[in-house]
Amino acid sequence: MPKLVIFDLDNTLINGDSDRNWGIYLSEKKIVGDDFLEKSEKFYNNYYEGSLDIDGFLNFCLEPLVNNSMDLLLELREDFIETKIKPLLLPKAIEEINKEMETNKVIIATATNNFVTRPIATLFGIDDLIATDFEIIDNEFTGKVDGIPCFRDGKLTKVEQWSKNNDYDLNGSKFYSDSFNDIPLLQKVSEAIVVDGDEKLLQEAKNYGWKCVSFR
């Protein structure tokens, strides 16, 4: 049976953060108010400092989704993927994914919400995406998170649940990530690979003897 190979998305497979870039895009299109970017940057910095209030952040991310029609959001997302995300794709990441796909089952696990990241996973040819899910009823976002956030221990929990549901085992699995926020899952897989890691993760990699690579 193929082994499970998990890739983080932001700053691992793409040269940037999709959530952050989505906020910048919405600001450029005047979909959000003037203070949106300032709040977004604060959340982004908190994420890298390890002090992110995940519930507050997700409520913030939901605001523009709740306040606009699905038709408009889908139109915006299509343009966003074309103009903002495609230029961030990393050739080395694509090469690594294709290599892993030859013999293994490849999935993406990301803290960023499903609405933003589903089409990005498709760009890489990956069907299975584990992300933070937002509730949709009658083709509208309700403003609620569906299930647990795919963040830190929550990412581990969601990957373990997906693995169980799809008859995969984390024994023998591999996980590529750039962020120390992913340490719970990195510690659980058989092979942890740090990709262009942040300072805190590089220190942990040294402690655990994890392999470090660059897709840049």
Parallel, antiparallel or unpaired: strands 140-146 and 174-177:
unpaired
**Cβ atoms of 121 and 108 closer than 8 Å:** yes
pTM score: 0.97
Could you please state the CATH topology (level 3) that the domain comprising 18-86 is classified under: de novo design (two linked rop proteins) (1.20.1440)
Query: Is the model's pLDDT at 34 over the cut of 90?
Result: no
Percent of the chain at pLDDT exceeding 90: 97
Whether the predicted pLDDT of 1 surpasses 90: no
pLDDT at residue 122, rounded to an integer: 98
In this structure, whether the domain defined by 4-15+89-213 belongs to CATH 3.40.50.1000 is answered with yes
Tokens of residue 56, six digits: 């507050």
Establish whether 8 is a catalytic residue.
Answer: yes
CA nearest to 89, candidates 17, 14, 22, 16: 14
Share of the chain above pLDDT 70, in %: 100
> What value does the mean pLDDT take over residues 40-50?
92
Q: How confident is the model at residue 114 (pLDDT cuts 50, 70, 90)?
A: very high
Active site residue 133: no
Distance CA 67, CA 51 (A): 27
Q: What pLDDT is attached to residue 48? A: 85
Question: Could you tell me the residue ranges of all domains in the chain?
Answer: 4-15+89-213, 18-86
